[in-house]
Amino acid sequence: MWIGYNSGAWCILPATEVTCVTQPVRLCFVCLGNIIRSPLAEALFWHYAEQRGVAHKYEVDSAGTGAWHIGEPPDPRIRRVAARHGLHYDHRGRQIHPDDFDRFDWFFVMDDDTYAHMMALASLRGQGHKVRYLREFDPQAHGEREVPDPYYGGEDGFELVYRVIDRSVQGLLEALESGQLSSEQEA
């Protein structure tokens, strides 16, 4: 019997069979307060992964760079918009921790401030390659990399953010499933 690590999976090879146990790809979506954008991205990712029958391949979470909303549920305005689209989810805000860099393969951020914060944390561990903008996967981004923060705006801003995150998450899942992005890849 042979046991080895190959392409992200632990493989056990008896005489004529190969059995591989694949490690899940671990993703964390990050925004400022973890009550609007990042928990929505987490919920949408789970929704589409379950729809495609691939949820077992992923471990997904979300966090905020700030501590203002630790333990709070998502903003009711984004929950209303999500419900209109048939998406219902539960979440409690949490703050990103430096140890999360040991736990997750990828961090998908919403804006430049969050990116700067995450890169500062990543530099302490030499793991800047794990931080990406979520909007990189939005086919309609047209060079825009930020998901706008609708916190101080009206309901229409929340609808816009829902659509942007929805497209971006679908693009991200496609990139992961097609092998364009993997847990072993460095950006």
Q: How far is CA 122 from CA 4, 26, 87, 128, 143, in A?
A: 29, 16, 32, 5, 24
- Annotation says 145 is catalytic: no
Return the exposure string of 143-173: e unless at least 16 CB atoms fall within 10 Å of the residue's CB, then b. eebbbebbbeeeeebbbebbebbbbbbbbbb
Among 39, 40, 22, residue whose Cα is nearest residue 167: 40
Q: Which of 28, 37, 105, 135 is catalytic?
A: 37
Locate 14 and state its tokens.
């008896």
Catalytic site residue from 28, 31, 132, 138: 31
Residue 77 appears among annotated catalytic residues: no
CA 75, 80, 86 angle in degrees (round to 5)? 125
Catalytic: 94? no
Could you give the C-alpha distances from 11 to 8, 19, 64, 182, in angstroms and in order? 10, 6, 36, 18
Catalytic residue among 75, 105, 149, 166: 149
Contact (Cβ atoms closer than 8 angstroms) between residue 25 and residue 183: yes
Euclidean distance between CA atoms 76 and 78, whole angstroms: 6
Q: Which residues are catalytic?
A: 31, 37, 149
